[in-house]
Amino acid sequence: MASIYRDAVIDVSADTAWAALQDVGAADRPFAGVLTGCTLEGDVRTVTFANGMVAKERIVTVDDGHRRVVYSTLNEVFLHHSASMRIVPMGERQCRFIWISDVLPEQAAERIAPLVDAGCLAIKKNLESGKAESSMPHVASPS
């Protein structure tokens, strides 16, 4: 099994970042630029990528206590694909976004890694610019 580990320091509070990440039915907001659409039916979300690819993902858990989302891809292309995304506080106005993807066959990591890299850049850019916050009216912007 291949594992892809990525992280990014994001200059927003962990609460702000978590509010965007935990809204699993609106993943196209924090990941805008990589994702162009997202719907959620029960525990299965469908995401549309900017390149036209569509993926179905089962949401395994949304863990508020650890600020962690886990999902698995429902796709015949992979023998296995699961991922976790986590927000870790680093002070009042900074956090770390950690994304770990596990995939079989190992060669599939070559196709997934560029999407994970682009996703890390997108969430950082969208959260820091405030673009991802439009779906979170209950979250106060930092002053």
Is 72 a domain residue?
yes
| Residue 39 predicted with pLDDT over 70 | yes
- Could you tell me the pTM of the whole model? 0.88
Rg value, the chain, Cα:
14
Range of the domain at 10: 2-135
Number of folded domains in the chain? Answer: 1
Query: Does 141 reside within a domain?
Result: no
Angle at the Cα of 112 (from 107 to 116), degrees rounded to 5? 145
- Region 113-139: mean pLDDT is 80
| pLDDT 10s digits, 78-117 | 889 999 999 999 999 999 999 999 999 999 999 899 999 9
DSSP state, 125?
H
What's the pLDDT at 133?
61
We report the CATH number of the domain holding residue 46 as: 3.30.530.20
